[in-house]
Structure 1
Amino acid sequence: MTTESFGGIAVAVVDAETPGNVGTIARAMKNFGLSELLLVDPPALDPEGEAYGFAGRAREDILPEATEISFDNLVENYYTIGCTATTNEDARNHVRYPAMTPDELTEHLGGVDADVALVFGRERVGLTNDELARIDALCSIPASEEYPSLNLGQAATITLYELRELTVEESQHPDSLHERADEADLERLFEQFEEYVAAVDHPEPKRDKAARMFRRLLGRAHPTPRETSTLQGLLRRGAERSADWTPEEDE
């Protein structure tokens, strides 16, 4: 699934106090495949200052191409998700309740046919109650009750990471680099294991159980073609050596 299925995802930062946090958020956007940065009442972003210093490669495009926007225009033109710290609200006392967690956003956004803006508030106080009342949905990062407040840049990075299935090309996912062996090759490996178990004279009543355990183990491991071939070779040589072994060799 890509962002093209429901529009796009922008990141909005409301009244940030620290330019460095804006740069950190821009960098996180670059990391996770986002490009549209919206700034409501931003601080001055000096190309020689900390915003650009913290932005990494996002200083080349995302940060200089950021758009200043009013909060009114933001809520009028985007499906907004307010990203805030734990609110301690419940169903009886709330401005916007309940809140999703970042890992629930992907499924939620799959049903949204509109341009989306993830809205991050101020470093110290986040989004005001008046602003939250105008937001379409709320996202909050679960954290320790002893200290639930996260740095603005950290909160944005966590949230954008959880959206990677929508924003990062499938070919860039670590899982896409893992090629599982063909089922036919895995079946040959299972057969090789059974031959090995017989060759080493494993107790016959226990052979079926050992074969099942081996199959379950490989089912969880998803071995690559090279790993499968190597295991086949090891089991084959082990079986051949066991077949050639005589008791006199240990005397």
Structure 2
Amino acid sequence: MTEDSSTHTASEESTSETDRTPPAVAVVDAQTPGNVGTIARAMKNFGFEELLLVDPPTLDPDGEAYGFAGHAREDVLPNATELTFDELVESYHTIGCTAVTNEDDRSHIRFPYSTPADLAERLPAVEGPTALVFGREQVGLTNEELARIDEICAIPASAQYPVLNLGQAATVTLYELRTLTLSPEETQLPDLERTRAPEETVDRLYDQWGALLAEINHPVEKRDKTMRMLRRVFGRADLTTREANTLLGLLRRATERPAED
């Protein structure tokens, strides 16, 4: 009985971790349909699906929002949910995104704050409905709205000009949080795993370098130092077998050419 119970619990936990719902994306009082479309497109790029709109502009299927949305016009944008700000803060753990933060802890309206990278590390371990909240194009989220939000997120940027436009801010944030929605296998990037060339191949490469240094009369007293430098360079490069063999061929030709001349 105890064994079955613990197995069932472990299974439930595993399923829970796998089936966690990614954060929703909420846009408050966007002034232009194009920005809503841009955010929907960024959501599609990085695997987010649930779009929440508070006081949105009119989203004409033949207008700017759908024109800017790319393939998100097929699902993310038409499936967006319109709700009030009260419903948003009552139904979700809210993360307000703002460029302006307090410099210290004397006010908790805009402090403390996390960066998107901080959230990417913490949110995978948190279960429950979460919404990333973006504000208006010109003023973002008001202090009154931020006071009702659970936590604050800010994108690190130049102190001289930290304000991003609405579409940029959402795109950067969703890119940083893509690990919540996309595994490496689900992106368009090729597999980056590399297989380092066998040590004997790399040793032949170093021997060939030594032969070249001798052939070009590189100063004897400098050869050991030069070889150490080459070992460090190629050691950091993690050469593949193909790369090492290609370099070997080039070095052989370079070593043999003086004799041909």
Structure 2: runs of 5+ lacking an equivalent? 1-16
Partner of 2:236: 220
Structure with higher RCO (Cα < 8 A, 6+ apart):
1
Q: 1:34 to 1:193 in 2, by over 3 A?
A: same
Partner of 2:34: 20
Q: CA deviation at 1:49?
A: 0.9
Instruction: Quote the sequence identity (%).
Output: 60
Match 1:191 to one of 204, 213, 221? 204
Q: Partner amino acid for 1:218?
A: F
1:148-190 deviation per Cα after TM superposition (whole angstroms, max 9, x unaligned): 322111111111122233333303264x443423241x65124
Q: 1:219 to 1:134 in 2, by over 3 A?
A: farther
Q: CA deviation at 1:227?
A: 2.5
Q: 1:187 to 1:5 in 2, by over 3 A?
A: farther
1:37-62 deviation per Cα after TM superposition (whole angstroms, max 9, x unaligned): 11122221110111101111111111
Matches of 1:220 and 1:71, distance apart in 2: 52
Matches of 2:246 and 2:150, distance apart in 1: 54
- Indicate the larger mover: 220-229 or 7-16: 220-229
Q: 1:190 to 1:83 in 2, by over 3 A?
A: farther
Partner of 1:80: 94
Partner of 1:66: 80
Matches of 1:160 and 1:50, distance apart in 2: 21
Q: CA deviation at 1:6?
A: 4.5
- Say whether residues 1:107 and 2:121 are aligned partners: yes
Q: CA deviation at 1:4?
A: 4.0
Matches of 2:155 and 2:195, distance apart in 1: 38
Q: CA deviation at 1:65?
A: 1.0
Q: Partner amino acid for 2:205?
A: Q
Task: Name the SS for the 2:94 alignment partner.
Answer: strand
Matches of 1:36 and 1:219, distance apart in 2: 46
Matches of 2:99 and 2:242, distance apart in 1: 46
Task: Name the Cα RMSD after superposition.
Answer: 2.6
Partner of 1:233: 249
Given that 1:190 and 1:211 are in contact with CA atoms closer than 8 Å, whether structure 2 keeps it comes out as no
Given that 1:18 and 1:43 are in contact with CA atoms closer than 8 Å, whether structure 2 keeps it comes out as yes
Given that 1:27 and 1:54 are in contact with CA atoms closer than 8 Å, whether structure 2 keeps it comes out as yes
- Say whether residues 1:54 and 2:68 are aligned partners: yes
Partner of 2:227: 211
- Indicate the larger mover: 7-16 or 139-148: 139-148
Match 2:56 to one of 33, 42, 50? 42
- Say whether residues 1:8 and 2:8 are aligned partners: no
Partner of 2:107: 93
Partner of 2:132: 118
Q: 1:20 to 1:237 in 2, by over 3 A?
A: same
Equivalent pairs, count:
241
Given that 2:100 and 2:110 are in contact with CA atoms closer than 8 Å, whether structure 1 keeps it comes out as no
Matches of 1:216 and 1:72, distance apart in 2: 60
Q: TM-score, normalised by structure 1?
A: 0.83
Q: TM-score, normalised by structure 2?
A: 0.80
Structure 1: runs of 5+ lacking an equivalent? none
